[in-house]
Structure 1
């Protein structure tokens, strides 16, 4: 074992994603050294991530790095890292709201935050975006609770609820809700809305591509002609949003919307971006909800009678996701609330080759 290093970590499910959680102090401070370590830990560069602990899927090849807050008004820092499966690349440009839903519990477990007598509110500074999200978790008697009756589509069974309030969702990466200045525009004949909410997204109507928006994730992934066209539009959207060449970046995320088929308010298909999400990213749901408040956006024109406060239900491949949209009395901006769950799955240490 002398040729191996042990790095403490906890494998956690957050929402519909999972991955290892690390204390920032247990990883190299240098980003290049840190990313090289994460690639080895996850087994990136192989479709099964067979030589690491990654799950061979974008939703299970994610990493959360947590530490003391570096921003005033926050309790902890949370850096999200998307470790690509087939390529040895770590992307820290996006945020992940699903992994975020486990940050408060991890912070209490590791002593970064003191548990309250009945519930604990943790103000999380997302280092990727610079924004603060408030997470509320149940801690009856000062003890963290994972078991409960809350269920979310895309995850079997039930667990204790985690309430996320995206207090600063507007302009997560660019500082502007509308980075290109327009609520709706046309790229290669495709009407789109370029929205920078909790994550930057490119929203289009499914019907523009001859789809309904209620297709399965597998059906969309197999439609190579559609995926190629969607990527071509996304690349130009990235330029218009000020990101430059996004061929190797996961931002912006493409989103298709369509007429609901199962009693919801909208059918949503979210891409990661080179495959369709099996459910719906939390940050994606927040960005779509924020777009709904803009009457002239792709989403706004699909929901012309929207009035705040309101509860919205988005249909996704694995079921539905409910969000609540209110107006912040202080800023006048929309605030989106999402209910998620999380669970601690495994704790121990990741073993990596010792570097000289």
Structure 2
């Protein structure tokens, strides 16, 4: 070993439409400042190119999963998610990523934390960030997670083995309620203008607003939305004020600095025909609702699974912003097809109601995942030994 370097065993893993660095809990020191400095060095952050690390220079590929034996009797593994900033020495551990979550089972099987049982291995994942349980159904062959399959997802070339993700335990994980404010619609005032929004806590807390409230059609591309700096400032103001209202932060004006990842922000509109980022057509008849979702102060190029969980729940609560935009056909079945910038994503969702309290009764999403690389990453010893 080089006298100036230490090594850490990591894997680069694709989960759904995201890619992240997975590392065993045992590889990292317990001390949080040192641990975070090591992780930042592994990714090459802060640097928008992440040129000196393994990060992919994009919010969708700058994601972290720390996996270890479960600290709970009702789970197989512990999973801590981190969104690693490109621009600051900061890792946001307050949210979750459903796409990355879909690969936790494969990683756990590969590293001997879970015994593979054909044809489907059930993996109960304790999400340390939220304290909830996620149930993964992982296809296996031999003692490995299966890779080949015919399931396709928008935003990922080819096809793969279908991984089922059951989020039914994940309603109200951050605030204790599916509707944190207890209201179907909240009114958020910015510059003397009132904006109606619905806020749902499922997967990740997500703020929903009608595209028309922002002067949009709803089928704009990510680049079109991001190019409107005034609109982006307004969106962050609304998001920040919701976060302050929920007591996630003390000052809404610091939302981008203190909680850049979640709450998510979803701009919804009725189904419509539009062209995806790669020039393909999504027909109005193929989807039930359109969403353009923002996180990390940018527009998601596809649609996050946790945002899909939240949108599915919101669609099932009569009177909310998303429910108002949902097509009539989707109201008659649990299945919802959501149109996003790269195509569409499906979710089976159901919500039950007792009095004024709503509960997530069903929330099933499917993804594909695979481990791309496993190897040693080198970190400067001066970072590892720094106090």
Is the TM-score greater than 0.5?
yes
> 1:105 aligns to what?
106
Q: Could you report, residue by residue, the CA deviation over 1:139-183 in whole angstroms, capped at 9, with x for unpaired residues?
A: 134442111111100111111111100021211211111222212
Instruction: Kindly indicate whether residue 205 of structure 2 is the aligned counterpart of residue 200 of structure 1.
Output: yes
CA contact (8 A) 1:118 1:142 kept: no
**Alpha carbons of 1:207 and 1:284: their partners in 2 closer, same or farther (altered >3 Å)?**
same
> 1:74 aligns to what?
75
Q: 1:277 aligns with which of 300, 305, 308?
A: 300
> 1:293 aligns to what?
316
CA distance in 1, matches of 2:19, 2:110: 17
Partner SS state of residue 284, structure 1: helix
Q: Could you report, residue by residue, the CA deviation over 1:190-229 in whole angstroms, capped at 9, with x for unpaired residues?
A: 1101111110011100111111221111111111111011
Q: Which runs of 4+ in 1 moved over 4 A?
A: 304-309
After TM superposition, the score normalised by the length of structure 1 is 0.96
**Alpha carbons of 1:44 and 1:144: their partners in 2 closer, same or farther (altered >3 Å)?**
same
> 2:269 aligns to what?
258
> 1:131 aligns to what?
132
> 2:216 aligns to what?
211
Partner SS state of residue 39, structure 1: helix
1:124-163 aligned within 5 A: 124-163=125-164
Shift in Å, 1:332: 6.3
Q: 1:349 aligns with which of 368, 371, 376?
A: 376
CA contact (8 A) 2:334 2:349 kept: yes
CA RMSD of aligned residues (A): 1.7
> 1:325 aligns to what?
349
Q: Which runs of 5+ in 2 are unaligned?
A: 273-282
Shift in Å, 1:304: 7.8
Higher mean C-alpha deviation, range 67-76 or range 307-316: 307-316
CA distance in 2, matches of 1:16, 1:288: 18
Q: Could you report, residue by residue, the CA deviation over 1:30-67 in whole angstroms, capped at 9, with x for unpaired residues?
A: 22221111111111111101111111110010010001
CA contact (8 A) 1:328 1:335 kept: no
CA distance in 1, matches of 2:352, 2:375: 41
Matched positions, count: 355
CA distance in 2, matches of 1:304, 1:260: 7
Instruction: Kindly indicate whether residue 249 of structure 2 is the aligned counterpart of residue 240 of structure 1.
Output: no
CA contact (8 A) 1:121 1:137 kept: yes
Shift in Å, 1:328: 7.9
Q: 1:303 aligns with which of 323, 326, 331?
A: 326
CA distance in 2, matches of 1:98, 1:55: 16
CA distance in 2, matches of 1:212, 1:273: 22
Instruction: Kindly indicate whether residue 110 of structure 2 is the aligned counterpart of residue 86 of structure 1.
Output: no
After TM superposition, the score normalised by the length of structure 2 is 0.88
**Alpha carbons of 1:64 and 1:337: their partners in 2 closer, same or farther (altered >3 Å)?**
same
Shift in Å, 1:308: 6.8
Shift in Å, 1:307: 4.5
Shift in Å, 1:325: 1.5
CA contact (8 A) 1:308 1:325 kept: no
Shift in Å, 1:320: 0.2
CA distance in 1, matches of 2:95, 2:332: 28
> 1:11 aligns to what?
12
Shift in Å, 1:273: 3.5
Q: Which runs of 5+ in 1 are unaligned?
A: none
Partner SS state of residue 247, structure 1: helix
**Alpha carbons of 1:295 and 1:23: their partners in 2 closer, same or farther (altered >3 Å)?**
same
CA contact (8 A) 2:335 2:346 kept: yes
